[in-house]
Chains A and B, each alone.
Chain A
Amino acid sequence: MNASFLLFTLLNTGFILLVSPFFMSLIKKVKAYVQGRKGPKLLQSYFDLRKLMQKEVVYSPNSSIIMRITPYLNLGALLLATLFVPVVFIPNAPAGIGNVIVFLYLLVIERFFTSLSGLDSGSAFGGMGSSRLMSLSAVIEPTMIIAFAALAYVLKTVNFHEMFAITAGSTIPESPTLSLISISLFIIIIVETGRIPVDNPATHLELTMINEAMILEQSGKNLALIELAHAIKQTILMAILINTLAPFGLATELTFTGIVISCFYFLVKASLLAGLIGLFESSIAKMRLFRLPGFYMMAFFFSALTILMEVFI
């Protein structure tokens, strides 16, 4: 553990933690504008989190310790995952931090325990959400792995830090194939954050819901922690796409100005991406549940195509 890494831990995690709720509101705002509404304030997510933190926690008498530890484990796993995706600058990370596969499996921790807590209270809604989430995430997993394998193929490393150190120097994508991977990465963001057409984050209607169904029984500060973890997940997935497709601005050295510039650029780029996600969500209808594997196949196709291009050219 060197000093620069320690600083990275604080800055990177702190920064992502701080800005994540903002992007949640931003997407809501964009969607509201498209629908002709005014939409919530840009800081509304922060107010919501504060409100939830102060509210009482209601537990079902059927629920067990799983329900109580899940929020902490979720946020813990996601905060750890922030170390894998450099946003402020690229440190000299020890012990394989930044490894793509470890990153993906940290996301599995969140998924695994959220699904268990969905089953915990014995509500049919929770079970439905768990069952759907685990099934759909299993089907998206090959796409995710192939997308990241394609990144590894192109950039010849399995470490995010090393990958982004390679891409950071250039203003345009390092290799044209990276723009193909970006399509898959975009679909992965949509799927993993439970957005239209996969899931609808705005409703609590049982026909559409996956993620909202599982956390239906969570309340108070536990719900706040889960929402925060969800927001962080969205931010780091966005950061991966940004660092792959539009890497300019990311500092590779530890300097004060470098960090400020990185943060500024990231905010601008991520806001644009959030706007794009909002527009994408507004322009498409929710898909039927069993149509989704077809949608995933599209992402799979693009990442497999990338690898095949690398193989045969």
Chain B
Amino acid sequence: MSLLEALVYGAIIALIFGTILPLLYRSKNTRKASFSLSFFSSILLLAFAGTVLYTGKEPTFPAFGFLPGLNFTMAADRLSAGFILLIAAVVPGVSIYSIEYVEYAKSEARKDIQTVLTNLFILAMLMVVLAGNMVGFLIFWEIMSLSSLMLVLHDYSSEENKKAGIFYFIMTSLSTAFLFMGFISLFRLTGSAEFGHLDYAASILTLPFLCLFIGFGIKAGLVPFHKWLPYAHPAAPSSVSALMSGVMLKVAIYGFLRFLLSVSAPEIWWGVLILIGGSLSAILGVIYAFRESDIKKLLAYSSIENVGIIFTGIGLYLIFKLEGLEGLAMLSLVGASFHAFNHALFKSLLFLCAGSIVHATGTRSIEALGGLIKRMPRTAALFLIGSVSIAGLPPANGFVSELMLFQAYFYSSALQDPLLKVLLIITLSVFALTSALVAALFVKLFGITFLALPRTKCAKEAIEVPQPMLSGEAIPAALCILSGLFSNRILALFGFDFGIPDMLVIGLLLVGVCGFVWLGVRNTGFSKTPRRSKETWGCGILAQHPTMEYSSIGFSEPLIAIFKKIYRPEISSTRTYSDTKECIFKDGTTKIHFPKFFEKYLYLPVAHTVNVISFQVSRMQNGKLGTYVFYVFIAVLTLMTFTRYFA
């Protein structure tokens, strides 16, 4: 056993201990130790993934046979190492944050359970990525889903959370069902459960492709299978939301990539389907995010958008590869993977900060917040870093991956097929619209939450969260900036050179120029201009009141008007009048309601159909022995007939 394997085993053992310890010794210190163990394991994984990515050396693990004919094997190549790196980048921040955050749970038992499940969840996600065959993949996939389900249900007493849990459970079961179908059809084709090269014609692989695309798409939150995200994220503890959004969605993307990259001859319509699905998710995700005022729901929708961008990159990869443009294909694929990594960092940062805000103010609605930058300056600074990264401002990391995808689009003039070119122009404009809307979205989120006057008492009385939580947030924040600045160095280290602009130079120049401006203003005699503090101009009103400020929904109003066709707002109003002729207005209410399009036209009809069918089926179950014997008799008769005539 070489050092490389030892690192992995060390990490796994640390996580197992982290899972078991809080069950054995139930105290605050054990919980602390448990999170320290997950922190420690991520350091080991960081070393492991870095080495594998840098050297390209693939470690070998022995197989464990646990059922006749079924082995569980572990394997790691550069693809899995990339996603292990992602896990190792997110977990340290979440672990340190959780040390303090888990103590806010309602009872001792819940604190312990949350610790145990968080560790188990991390372990399961790691094992899914490490799994060398379908058996291990599916087993740990289920553990991952169930542990996260229990974390979503951790506060099971509220009605809203129960609904969220059931929704998540149904969607994740559906995802697993599709994965099973996909894997079984692959198994029938190859006769082995190993992940290997699939040298088959694309027409044979159509069924597995569609099943796996839908299965992984549900878990990753691709439109129209995205509905569970905005339910599950607000219900789960924020540290778990950070893991779910940061890592779990990426594990689904890993699974999809694992399949896609092993197919030797895919077809062009696969790429087109993935590209269209991705673009649609991206644009609808951000448009739906815009109408939300619940900070965690908003971030959940933003995850849908980012997953869309990642799938866009994967679709581009497939199209470029099949058209023989290897360079552009690699650029898109690495761009998509890098975006997955970046999204893991800034989304976990934003969810952790959201957790701090919810803890400090007791509300998730940003309409009730405001002015937090004065009360929680450190959280505000960290949240600003997250917003800047996700909005794709240079030189932060979110910009770099978007830049790579934009660059791939811009060079697509090398494509031969004119129809593909037209498709790429359309998706490029959708991508551009998406990225601009994200900037607008995070101006709204940061501006309404942190700036101006507090809108309610709970925001006014907020105080800064304790140091461990801030440190936990600081890790992904620092990584966001560093992985942006050193993006070229990091990609070059792992053997990718695309000639993209060097963010380190641009970042340094930006800081330099801003410093130059500052010094210029200071040293040219203008420093002595007096300063004065005076109330914001309010058209003659003496003291400013928070109700004068722009609200979250007010901020979104122009976009809601522009995208009316998508939001389809329903406005209903009631009015009463003081006179009989209805001239003098007395009182009234107006309601703006946004219908839930997918729920209304896709989810509910499907659920309704399933209900009707199960009602019909349940009529066959009357609980009498005679009836069941009769059913068996019919079944035997049918079988006999079938074998006689058809087999």
Could you list which residues of chain A lie within 8 angstroms of chain B, going by C-beta atoms? 53-66, 72-73, 75-77, 79-80, 83, 94-97, 99-102, 105-106, 108-109, 111-112, 115-116, 119-128, 130-132, 134-142, 144-146, 148-149, 152-153, 156, 158, 216-217, 220-221, 225, 289-290, 293, 300, 304, 307-308, 310-312
Contacts and interface: CB of A to CB of B under 8 A. Distances in A.
Given A106-B394, A122-B370, 9 more contacts: A55-B529, A61-B535, A62-B452, A94-B502, A137-B436, A139-B433, A141-B433, A141-B435, A311-B422
A66 B391 contact: no
Contact of B536 (A60, A65, A72, A132): A60
A310 B415 CA distance: 12
B81 to A, nearest CB: 27
Contacts of A125: 537
Nearest to B530: A56
B510 interface: yes
Contact of A135 (B391, B394, B538, B558): B558
Contact of A100 (B399, B410, B549): B410
A149 B415 CA distance: 14
Nearest to A98: B501
Interface string B497-538: 001111001100110011011100100001001111111111
The 8 closest A-B pairs by CB, nearest first: A127-B550, A96-B501, A122-B452, A76-B514, A141-B436, A119-B447, A134-B440, A145-B432
Contact of A108 (B391, B411, B506, B536): B391
Given A127-B550, A142-B432, A116 B447 contact: yes
A274 B447 CA distance: 35
A312 B411 CA distance: 16
B505 A94 contact: yes
Contacts of B516: 76, 79
B398 to A, nearest CB: 10
Given A56-B529, A122-B548, A146 B425 contact: yes
A81 B646 CA distance: 75
Contact of B451 (A79, A122, A141): A122
Contacts of B518: 72
A77 B510 contact: yes
Contacts of A115: 443, 447
B359 to A, nearest CB: 21
B561 interface: yes
Interface class of chain B by DSSP: helix
Given A59-B532, A60-B535, A80-B506, A108 B393 contact: yes
Interface class of chain A by DSSP: helix
B439 interface: yes
Interface in B414-436: 418, 421-422, 425, 428-433, 435-436
Given A57-B529, A96-B500, A101-B406, A131 B555 contact: yes
Nearest to A57: B531
A312 B533 CA distance: 61
21 contacts: A57-B531, A61-B533, A64-B450, A75-B514, A95-B501, A97-B505, A99-B500, A115-B447, A119-B451, A123-B548, A124-B549, A127-B447, A127-B555, A132-B558, A135-B559, A145-B406, A145-B431, A149-B409, A156-B413, A221-B526, A293-B562
Given A60-B536, A123-B536, A289 B526 contact: no
A153 B437 contact: no
A128 B535 contact: no
B448 interface: yes
Contacts of A112: 388, 391, 393, 439, 443
Given A95-B506, A149-B428, A311-B422, A217 B536 contact: yes
Given A127-B549, A131-B550, A56 B531 contact: yes
Contacts of B556: 131
B371 interface: yes
B429 A123 contact: no
A223 to B, nearest CB: 12
B538 A123 contact: yes
A279 B635 CA distance: 86
B535 A311 contact: no
Nearest to A94: B505
Which of A127, A220, A310 has the largest count of B CB atoms less than 10 A from its CB?
A127
A72 B519 CA distance: 10
A125 B561 CA distance: 19
B514 A73 contact: yes
A295 B431 CA distance: 20
B536 A121 contact: yes
A299 to B, nearest CB: 12
Interface of B: 370-371, 373-374, 388, 391-394, 399, 402-403, 406-407, 409-411, 413, 418, 421-422, 425, 428-433, 435-437, 439-440, 443-444, 446-448, 450-453, 499-502, 505-506, 509-510, 513-514, 516-518, 521, 526, 529-538, 544, 546, 548-550, 554-559, 561-562
A75 B558 contact: no
Nearest to A56: B530
B401 to A, nearest CB: 12
A180 to B, nearest CB: 14
Given A119-B550, A158-B411, A79 B513 contact: yes
Which of A53, A83, A105 has the largest count of B CB atoms less than 10 A from its CB?
A105
A41 B402 CA distance: 45
A83 B391 CA distance: 23
B392 A108 contact: yes
A158 B447 contact: no
A204 to B, nearest CB: 11
B407 to A, nearest CB: 6
A138 B499 contact: no
Contacts of A62: 371, 452-453, 536, 544
A142 B435 CA distance: 9
Given A54-B529, A72-B518, A142-B430, A64 B506 contact: no
Given A105-B394, A123-B536, A130-B447, A304 B425 contact: yes
Contacts of A140: 436
B373 A64 contact: yes
B558 A105 contact: no
A124 B550 contact: yes
A135 B429 contact: no
Contacts of A135: 440, 558-559, 562
Contacts of A131: 444, 550, 554-558
B548 A124 contact: yes
Nearest to B370: A122
Contact of B433 (A101, A124, A138, A221): A138
Contacts of B394: 102, 105-106, 109
Contacts of B554: 127, 131
Contacts of B435: 141
Contacts of A80: 506, 509-510, 513
A53 B528 CA distance: 10
Contacts of A139: 433, 436, 562
Contact of A152 (B413, B548, B550): B413
A311 B371 CA distance: 51
B514 A72 contact: yes
A312 B536 CA distance: 56
A290 B562 CA distance: 7
